Chain A
Amino acid sequence: MNSVTESKFIDVRGKRTQITIGGAGPVLLYLHSAGGEVEWTRFHEMLAQYFTVYLPAHPGFGDSRGLENIHSITDYAWHYVDLLDVLGLETVPIVGFSLGGWTGMELAILRPERISKMLLVNTAGIRIPEAPMGELFSDDIEKLKSLLFYDPNSPVIEEAMPLSFEDNRILMWLKAREATARVGWNPYLHNPRLPDHLFRIPCPVRILWGNDDQLLPVATGKFLVDALPNATLEIFEKTGHMLPYEQAERFVEEVRKFLSD
């Protein structure tokens, strides 16, 4: 089971960008999280049964270059404006998870006409003072497991992150953390200006949230569903931050339903 048709590098306005394309059917642009899931994972493969999945790595993640010219989330959003042009994608639906959801919202504010629909999963970008975020930049891997997953002993954790410094994925993971810190250290994982601009996102938005997300509390999803002009919210019980890993089947079914409606 592997429907990857292509894994290549494209030049996006001088930034060498890694992109993996797989599956069949309508195009879907997947914007990955701070965890840096830029390799084809189980749920990408499941999405590929219904869609042609475009999985680019943000600058600084995976083997994508160009972090030196990224100084804020807006720079990521502009990178995706450029990427859509380079790939000749006039309008696309987006699935954005966490950091990817934040990037997706910023992109939709800059170029609303290019985004047909947006599915946001436990998305970053908003700070709710009454519901503080967890500490993503801890270097304690055990603590991170409990922060990110509903069940800190779940077997899916191994798909999602290295389990020790000896793990051979550690360098990719450290790169992902560096790139995340570049845009999300301070202000911490959010853009204080974002709420004022959410009204500019006209497309239908489906928001998925793990009820037990300790990194980005579900209160953020509740805020977003009210602040976005055309959004609905689905809360997953017994689910943490890493929803696409923890609830892969249900996640893929949500994407399929929302995008084919």
Chain B
Amino acid sequence: MRFFTFHLMPYNKLPDDFEEKYDTAWTTVPNSLYDPVYGHELYNRFLDELIYAEEIGFDGVCINEYHQSVYGHLPSPNLMGSILARQTKRVKIAIIGNALPFYDPPTRVAEEFAMIDVISGGRLIAGMHLGGGPEYDSFSMNPTYARNKFQEALDLTVRAWTEAGPFEHYGEHWKLRHVNPWPTPYQKPHPPIWISGEDSKETTELAAKRRYSYLGSPYFHKSFLKKNLDMFRKACKKNGYTAHEEQTGWLVPIYVAETDEQAWAEYEKHLFYFIRKLLKGLMVFPPGYSSPKSIARIGIALKQFLGNIITREEIEEGGYAMVGSPETVREKMKDYVQDFGVGNVLGLFQIGTLPADLTKKNMTLFAEQVLPYLRKELGEPATDEEISNALAVN
């Protein structure tokens, strides 16, 4: 069982009437709302929170890539990852991931990820993502090529890491006469690969086939999350093996305070800033991004998406966030982890407008009073060797 602190790096200073005045927090949300002087403080604070995660015993830190968004103003996770590579000593740095089709040519991912892996001494977890719906909108890239490009870029990246260069690549989307990235990764044959999906059948099958780790979409009702994880495990079976728990992860907002009551009193408005403002107008599926069947399936599940949730009771019932006293959160999380059968918990300890002091208190209480209990009940973290033995890295 491994525990990560995941950070969205949201922009937390939107006007109070944001949701009345603006359609969306994505793609077209006017960047005149951004204050770079305040941003200076915010980025440094968020980095401090991730560095603090190492001090208090987390196994890793996670960041992701978002463009033209206040949900996460984090267009380059590799810049943040390289800072973390230098400023931490022990934790895994999970960049989940780079939106491969947007790196042109995608050998840039092979290069930048290798740099972070080398700087950090082999602590990178390399997330590969096909880019979210909003990214295709933000960059006007045709989403009907998303899967095709992702597949080619992924193959190329892994090949660039495992096959001695220079070599030629003549694919459908990229034609490269000299593939020969310097540096090559510290971890051999290459860093562990996580595929974060939007829960289409296509993505789970790809991750299963290649024995990568799979992270389902967050913010859905627990029954939908479970179904997706089962879909992934089924795909592993179909490929002739049983999924290792290390191959799955669960991303969830967590808030721990002294009592249940206090936790909700401190947390609720910050969580609802996230729900009402930051999830507003999220275009999950541009046309052609997934198969019509996958889009239809998730389109129906969107009714049970955190962005459409109105009450605290619904949040408790659906497991959209783990909130409460240390006792409550540890019992809840133990049940959820066992039910989901996941080996990685990616906790969002800062959300929406949650301020620095409460974020720190939350992380500290979790690290001191929840994490040790869950480790005891659910197992110590797997070693690198166990993980690489379990996953046939190809």
Contacts from A to B (Cβ < 8 Å): 67, 137-139, 165-166, 170-171, 174-175, 177-182, 185-186, 188
Contacts and interface: CB of A to CB of B under 8 A. Distances in A.
Given A139-B283, A186-B140, A186-B141, A178 B292 contact: yes
Contacts of A171: 292-293, 296
A173 to B, nearest CB: 8
6 contacts: A137-B137, A137-B287, A177-B288, A180-B287, A181-B142, A186-B141
Given A182-B288, A186-B140, 5 more contacts: A139-B299, A170-B299, A171-B292, A177-B288, A179-B288
Given A137-B287, A177-B288, A182 B142 contact: yes
A175 B290 CA distance: 10
Contacts of B144: 67, 178, 181-182, 185
Given A165-B299, A181-B143, A174 B286 contact: no
A182 B295 CA distance: 16
A218 B199 CA distance: 41
Interface of B: 136-137, 140-144, 283-288, 292-293, 295-296, 299-300, 302
Given A165-B299, A165-B300, A185 B143 contact: yes
Interface of A is mostly: helix
Q: Which of A139, A170, A182 counts the most chain B CB atoms within 10 A?
A: A139
Given A165-B296, A166-B300, A174 B287 contact: yes
Given A186-B141, A186-B142, A181 B288 contact: yes
A143 B352 CA distance: 27
Given A182-B144, A185-B140, A186-B141, A139 B284 contact: yes
Chain B binding surface, main DSSP class: helix
Nearest to A162: B296
Contacts of B292: 170-171, 174-175, 178
Ranked nearest first, the 8 interchain pairs of A and B with the lowest CB-CB distance are A177-B287, A178-B288, A174-B292, A165-B299, A181-B287, A186-B140, A185-B142, A182-B144
Nearest to B281: A140
A30 to B, nearest CB: 23
A174 B300 contact: no
A198 B285 CA distance: 35
Contacts of A67: 144
Nearest to B297: A165
B287 A138 contact: no
A56 B12 CA distance: 52
B141 to A, nearest CB: 7
B135 to A, nearest CB: 13
Nearest to A177: B287
A176 to B, nearest CB: 9
Nearest to B294: A174
A182 B292 CA distance: 14
A177 B286 CA distance: 9
A166 B296 CA distance: 8
Contacts of A139: 283-286, 299
Contacts of A182: 142, 144, 288
Nearest to B28: A135
A180 B283 CA distance: 17
B296 A174 contact: yes
A171 B295 CA distance: 9
A171 B291 CA distance: 9
A180 B143 CA distance: 11
Contacts of B286: 137, 139, 181, 185
Nearest to B288: A178
Contacts of A179: 288
Contacts of B141: 185-186
B299 A178 contact: no
Given A175-B292, A181-B142, A182-B288, A138 B283 contact: yes
B25 to A, nearest CB: 15
Contacts of A166: 300
Contacts of B300: 165-166
A186 B140 CA distance: 6
Nearest to B141: A186
A138 B287 CA distance: 9
Nearest to A167: B296
Contacts of B287: 137, 174, 177-178, 180-181, 185
Nearest to A173: B292
Contacts of A137: 137, 286-287
Contacts of B284: 139
A174 B296 CA distance: 8
Contacts of B140: 185-186, 188
Nearest to A165: B299
Contacts of A165: 296, 299-300, 302
Nearest to B300: A165
Contacts of B293: 171
Contacts of B143: 181, 185
B284 to A, nearest CB: 7
Nearest to B145: A182
